[in-house]
Amino acid sequence: MSPGTPPAVPPALAAPVRVLLADDQPLVRASLDMIITDAPDLTVVGEAGTGAEAVRLAGELSADVVVMDIRMPGMDGIEATRIIAQGASARAGTPRVLILTTFDQDDHVYGALRAGASGFLVKDMALDDILAAIRVVAAGNALIAPTVTRRLIAQFARQAPATGPAVDARGPARLAAITAREREILTLVGLGRSNAEIAADRCISTATAKTYVSRLLTKLDARDRVQLVIIAYESGLVGDRRDP
Average pLDDT, the chain: 80
Residue 35 CB neighbour total at 10 angstroms: 14
Does residue 235 have a pLDDT over 60?
Answer: yes
Q: What is the DSSP letter of 178?
A: S
Does the fold of domain 171-234 match that of domain 17-156? no
**pLDDT confidence of residue 102:** 79
pLDDT at 144: 57
Of the candidates 101, 80, 213, which has an alpha carbon nearest to the alpha carbon of residue 148? 101
User: Using an 8 Å Cβ cutoff, are 82 and 111 in contact?
Assistant: no
Which whole number is the average pLDDT over 212-238? 85
pLDDT for 93-145, tens place per residue?
Answer: 678 999 888 766 666 777 787 888 888 777 878 888 889 889 988 887 776 54
Quickly count: other Cβ atoms within 10 Å of residue 133's Cβ.
Answer: 25
Least confident of 114-118, 207-211, 236-240: 236-240
CATH classification of 171-234, choosing from 3.90.730.10, 1.10.10.10, 3.40.50.2300, 3.30.70.100? 1.10.10.10
- Statement: residue 156 has pLDDT above 90: no
DSSP β-ladder status, 96-101 and 120-122:
parallel
pLDDT tens readout for residues 9-33: 555 445 899 999 999 999 999 999 9
Residue 214 has pLDDT above 60, yes or no: yes
Topology of domain 17-156 in CATH is Rossmann fold (3.40.50)
**Predicted TM-score (pTM) of this structure:** 0.70
Domain residue ranges of the chain, discontinuous segments joined by +: 17-156, 171-234
Residue 155, pLDDT score: 60
The C-alpha atoms of residue 22 and residue 47 are separated, in whole angstroms, by: 6
Is pLDDT above 90 for 179?
yes
- pLDDT, residue 195, reads 87
pLDDT at 87: 74
Confidence grade of residue 89 (pLDDT, cut at 50, 70, 90): very low
H helices within the chain, ranges in order? 26-37, 51-60, 77-85, 109-115, 127-138, 147-156, 180-190, 195-202, 206-219, 225-234
Mention every residue, 6+ apart, whose C-beta is less than 8 A from residue 59.
Answer: 89, 90, 91
Contact 105, 136 (CB under 8 A): no
